[in-house]
Structure 1
């Protein structure tokens, strides 16, 4: 079984990489349709030839790396089962302590460590790619610090979730998935509440917006939308990236309006206001809560399917893997594998819903600010600074894009401007 696994992995992965490379570097067209040429959505009207060349190359390499890395996680989880590494992790954790509350987090730590080490070269290549194209400005020490923070934050959260999950598996043999989902709901709400004030500050320094005149204008927009915000936060992202961003996150008293300092440095005030109006639109249309409901609903379906698929998988391969039961911690990689596959299958639908929400936020922002010129300028500047592709290949759009393409977004703004002038 081990030999077959290695051979099939090498054959399928090589074929996948070849087809992916041909699609992105040979078959896919990065240009815009004739109908958009010469318009504000045409990158040749606001980018230099060099910028166009860099954007196309960067997009191809970035997309290739992203697509090639995703199935690697599946291979790792399956390989851990096939080669008996999961059993070794289980035995080590059992020798370390006789208490499940120690054994399970220790197993999670071992599995996460191996996964992180194997995927680390690809993360590093992604970083080097971003630096070479002038997107990332982050030093290696700073990047490693963020990686380590992410590792330990992820471990703590996952250790808690998996410890509770396996307690439920052992106590409720047929309904563990349902009770796990019921406990997951308040946990997701709690995480949404603490994210802006506990987790985000671990990575970056947040301060009150220094430009008080701009803050007053942004809070004015927030007031029109009945957003209970008393201040706007600025985050020092320029030491890490040249990309720009802004967002509204959190719920209740922890809701925050946040601007990256790169956005402040590169956009005019009216362009910043459009970007913030877009983020405010998400709040007004309850996209934050709709996203939460979407995660809750998808987790219900995911856990239900994982329950049945786990039992099927254990019946078919459990004996070969020497894992007798679903509730055995050694079966955890199978659970992760199934959830990852289910998430991948659901991603086109989730991304389509996200693109629709982003389009609605764009429409809200332009109606609120009534400044199409500033809106178009902000999107063009975002494209230039991020070396973004305005019209990505179909496979990239439907499997990676949670926003409409820049071509679609700018075209919508031009249509609004034409309708306004009529």
Structure 2
């Protein structure tokens, strides 16, 4: 056990050193020379202090992302090799004869350990955002969100864990296929619930106060054949200075949502461009493409997890303190493998997402015919979030679901040039 713990800690430490070296020693975020002085150059729309803060904040934020991504996997591994997961299972089994109650008790202890150990890391991220004036959220409000996260995630995970263990025990060879089949309606159900049940737990949503702007947004939606009757505003200024807008939900629960920070910091033309961009996702059915991609990846992922779990238990089950994949104590291993595979596949999913975001940008230009507002919007988004317009390649591949701001501004600017040349 000591050897495994030592190797795990050393591997995690060396990984952190590599990420630090990559982000702070080798990547300077410099623009290619041909972009200097163009609208994509942050020196043209940020002052010296904003440039410095953007560089500092982005590096620290990226570092935290990479070092915390495997942190939960590490905790799961520690639970397994120290026998803590097996002990939680014994406690649950000694409490009740009902499987549902045992599952709830077992996952409560797992969730409590992970949340408690992770809380300082979460606080560092919150403190960082607060220090750089990205977050405006008070500490009590932040703690309230942490508690909501804990209980909502716990409720969902108890259901998932219970169903998984039941399927593994009932369909020993084909449980992964049954789990995949059930994950499809479950994911769609959660997407349907999110805008009306989950999101309001964190923020207040209400119809857009600016009715003139709402009318113009709905006119764009009508031209795009989007059946929207209202635009919603959310009071994000209580928590952040960043800006955002999105279309969420599916079916009758679909919503067009604007953060109030976006309404405060952008003019009407820029807001209409953002809204047209979001509508582009709807028109081009990106949500259904995303669901299709999820089906393929989850099919392959669950099959791989099943194979890896069986191999690890047969080869290292004694060291991991589990005898079969149908134990509650084996669930940390399942979610460890899911986390690793999800992280490994993120460059692929992010690349697809970036293609969709670019096509949504192009759709927004077709709808608004206002490239100047598009460029100004991207510049404003960079300033408000203190994000680098040209991040290092590793950061882009693993973190960016959108094209970088340099890419977005550049292809907008080139589009202007091409049209002028015509």
TM-score range, shorter chain: over 0.9
Aligned to 1:8: 7
Aligned to 2:63: 64
2: CA distance between counterparts of 1:97 and 1:10? 36
Query: Given the alignment of the two structures, is residue 400 of structure 1 paired with residue 399 of structure 2, yes or no?
Result: yes
Q: Secondary structure, in 3 states, of the residue corresponding to 2:241?
A: coil
Q: Which consecutive unaligned segments of at least 5 residues does structure 2 have?
A: none
Moved over 6 A (4+): none
After TM superposition, the structure 1 = structure 2 runs for residues 226-375 of structure 1, keeping only pairs within 5 Å, are: 226-375=225-374
**Scaled by the length of structure 2, what TM-score is found?**
0.98
CA deviation profile, 1:57-101 (whole Å, cap 9, x unmatched): 000000111111111111111110100001110011111111111
Q: Secondary structure, in 3 states, of the residue corresponding to 2:94?
A: helix
Q: Is residue 243–residue 384 contact of structure 2 (8 Å, CA) maintained in 1?
A: yes
Q: Secondary structure, in 3 states, of the residue corresponding to 1:96?
A: coil
2: CA distance between counterparts of 1:105 and 1:310? 22
Q: Secondary structure, in 3 states, of the residue corresponding to 1:412?
A: helix
Query: Given the alignment of the two structures, is residue 199 of structure 1 paired with residue 198 of structure 2, yes or no?
Result: yes
Q: Secondary structure, in 3 states, of the residue corresponding to 1:38?
A: coil
Q: Is residue 108–residue 159 contact of structure 1 (8 Å, CA) maintained in 2?
A: yes
Deviates further, 159-168 or 209-218? 159-168
CA deviation profile, 1:208-234 (whole Å, cap 9, x unmatched): 000011000100111111111001000
Q: Secondary structure, in 3 states, of the residue corresponding to 2:389?
A: coil
Aligned to 1:421: 420
CA deviation profile, 1:325-360 (whole Å, cap 9, x unmatched): 110111111101111111111111011111111111
1: CA distance between counterparts of 2:307 and 2:178? 15
Aligned to 1:79: 78
Aligned to 2:141: 142
Q: Is residue 194–residue 250 contact of structure 1 (8 Å, CA) maintained in 2?
A: yes
2: CA distance between counterparts of 1:336 and 1:109? 15
2: CA distance between counterparts of 1:321 and 1:365? 52
2: CA distance between counterparts of 1:410 and 1:364? 15
Q: Which consecutive unaligned segments of at least 5 residues does structure 1 have?
A: none
Q: Is residue 81–residue 321 contact of structure 2 (8 Å, CA) maintained in 1?
A: no
2: CA distance between counterparts of 1:233 and 1:321? 49
| Alpha-carbon offset, residue 317 of structure 1 | 1.1
1: CA distance between counterparts of 2:321 and 2:76? 15
The alignment covers a number of residue pairs equal to 421
| Alpha-carbon offset, residue 9 of structure 1 | 2.5
Deviates further, 260-269 or 313-322? 313-322
